[in-house]
Amino acid sequence: MRHFLTIGGLAVLALNASMGGARAQSSPPPDQIQEDWQVVIGTPDPVGAGPQISTSMSPVTDGSTPFFVFDLNYQDSPTFVAGGMQVQTWSGDQMLNATTKGTAQCSTTGETITWTQSMSLSSGSISFGINSGKSTTWGKFGQGQQLNVNGSFTTSLTTLSQYSPATSVANSGVGWQPNRVTSMTLLQVRYYAGGKLLSKDTTSRSINLSN
């Protein structure tokens, strides 16, 4: 199974770091970012283990720090398993850790899956978690729900101001059977500092499923 984050791609995206959403100059830098995602399944293929969906979220645009990958409807570490979900933390080509939950496979035509993925910076550590997940296949999933997946790594970063949603979009997609997904969309991005909302980017960003 392939992941979408590449150093070359991030180097190009570094030129577009300003696309991270408008934030007032006087506002404090963000220490938490939340992304709302939606995937609409067309006709799933449980026998063929499809579709296999991945999102990626990074605190920077140039690949200089570890990043997170969320795999949905499959797991590929330590070995491939159809169904369920997995959060992985990567540094370059090395996986640092992984959390796996569930074994159910998408089997409902027209199923809509929604979730929020959150990246937070605190005391020299960046953590990632899935929140408010809703689906037919897995029911409610994420922190505080039946299925919880998360990851973390230590960092020298003091803010998340280098984050860009363009990086997430460019490195997320459907790696197997994309024809079985009707749409995959980053619906909204929210920026926080000290638990307070700084700004909200309501631009809807669709993932290209033709690759």
Work out the pLDDT band at 15, boundaries 50, 70, 90: very low
| CB contact at 8 A, 128 and 108 | no
Query: Interior CA angle at 46 toward 50 and 41, to 5°?
Result: 55
Beta strands in 42-149 (DSSP E): 52-57, 67-75, 81-91, 94-101, 112-122, 125-134, 140-141
pLDDT digits (tens, 9 = 90+) for 107-141: 999 999 999 999 999 999 999 999 999 999 999 99
Q: Which stretch of 18-22, 69-73, 128-132, 137-141 has the lowest confidence by average pLDDT?
A: 18-22
Residue 94 has pLDDT above 50, yes or no: yes
Work out the pLDDT band at 26, boundaries 50, 70, 90: confident
What backbone phi and psi angles, to 5 degrees, belong to 76?
A: -125, 15
Read off the DSSP letter of residue 5. Answer: -
Burial of 78 (0-12, 13-18, 19+ CB in 10 A): exposed
**pLDDT at residue 25 in the model:** 56
CA distances from 38 to 68, 156, 162, 188 (A): 18, 32, 24, 10
**pLDDT at residue 51 in the model:** 98
Query: Interior CA angle at 203 toward 173 and 165, to 5°?
Result: 50
Number of Cβ atoms within 10 Å of the Cβ of 29:
14
Domain borders along the chain are 7-17+31-206
The chain-wide mean pLDDT, for the chain, equals 90
What backbone phi and psi angles, to 5 degrees, belong to 13?
A: -65, -20
Residue 18 has pLDDT above 60, yes or no: no
Query: Structure tokens of 102?
Result: 């569930």
Whole-structure pTM value: 0.88
pLDDT digits (tens, 9 = 90+) for 169-204: 999 999 999 999 999 999 999 999 999 999 999 999
CATH class of 7-17+31-206: mainly beta
**pLDDT at residue 143 in the model:** 80
